[in-house]
Structure 1
Amino acid sequence: MTDLQEVRDPELPGRLLVAERDALIPLLRSRPDADFALPTAACPGWSVRDVLAHCSAALMRVVESRFEKGVFSPESNDRDIAERAEWTNAQVVDELERGMTEAGPVIAKAGGVLDRIALGEWVHAGDVRDVFGEPGAYAGAGLPDALILLARITRQKEHLPLHADLDDVDEPLRLGAAVAAGPPARYIGDAATLVRLYTGRPVNGAAYELVGAAEGELNIFG
């Protein structure tokens, strides 16, 4: 079984962001303005543009080391989106590209406390691809690094232990607390659906098996 939590690779979050930048930014630049107003299923009340503005703002806070009290709270996120209300969609995408390029080294030096931001950005990119109907919304080139971050974060949070047999990954994956009173929960299915479950995203009728845990217990952002 693969244990991906033990040794932190400080370059991994930045690598994940750059891989996602190279996939997402060209896609965004190819879409008409009307697509930025589409609602997102993963973030009720937010449009695609709102998600992107939140992502770019969060990354620029990292780049500029702006972490005032209450940062990343729902209220703070709404303010960040409102501050960009008069921007063009192209300006939002430009800021997002800069953030995805420059945040990695800052996250690397932070010792792990900011790693979760890189995973959140990757997941939000999946939210946007999902709205656009793009294949592999929560997969793609960044998936292996995203799984490593997910495993480490669930370990740090002492989350419910889970053994995952992934259809599209060679070795089983262990997530959650290292020590548990009983046997871990079990998941059988594809990796993208596992990501959806751990981040509270709709599974869209995907076929999978989950034993020993309810879907809501897996959500690390809940």
Structure 2
Amino acid sequence: MKKILVTLVAVLLAFYFVPTNTFAEVNDDELTAYLTVVSTERGYPITKEDYVTYLEEYSQVFLSDFENIQELEEYMGEVIKSDNSNLESIYEDFELDELQLIELLNENGEAIENFIYVDDLYFTVLNIATPIDMPDFDDITADIDGLMKEIDLTDEEIENLMNHLLSIEEELNSPEVGERLMSIAERMMVIDPENPTEEQIKEVEKCL
């Protein structure tokens, strides 16, 4: 059982603490050209500094997450037009018109002008309409700390585990490994932590 718990810790660490695309870099010249187009479409100037802040605050990503401008553009999706004429999906899905959307955002300390992309605005409205309680990072860290204490890992063992994960960072970022980690995590979720059955343990061990 300890082997399974240690593997669970490794999976959690891989998901939450190992950075992705550490060496990725969007070309500055291409980014400048892209932001020129985006600024024209959106109707106001967007500097690199503005854009980096926007990505972190509204899209929950970092510029370093992308290897090139094509990947960034594809991920971020459609830019909101300067006249807000391409927000039909929001109006239809949430049964709003433009004035109602503006009012809803204002009531929650936001404005359409704060958003660059349709998807970011869409998911903000979705979150307002159907709020979802996301796990707090401190709670996740506390859970992992508690799990480590439960399986009696020493500080040295934890450090060795982290160093190992960092040493195989590139491999962890591959789609194949990502799918395997998800498979392991999903199988572990069905285990009763208090009284795991032999069948449950064997099911997880198949993935190890």
Q: Which of the two has higher C-alpha Rg?
A: 2
Structure with higher helix content? 2
Structure with higher strand content? 1
TM over 0.5: no
**Structure with more contact order per residue of length (Cα contacts < 8 Å, sep ≥ 6):** 2
Please tell me the TM-score bracket, short chain as reference. under 0.3
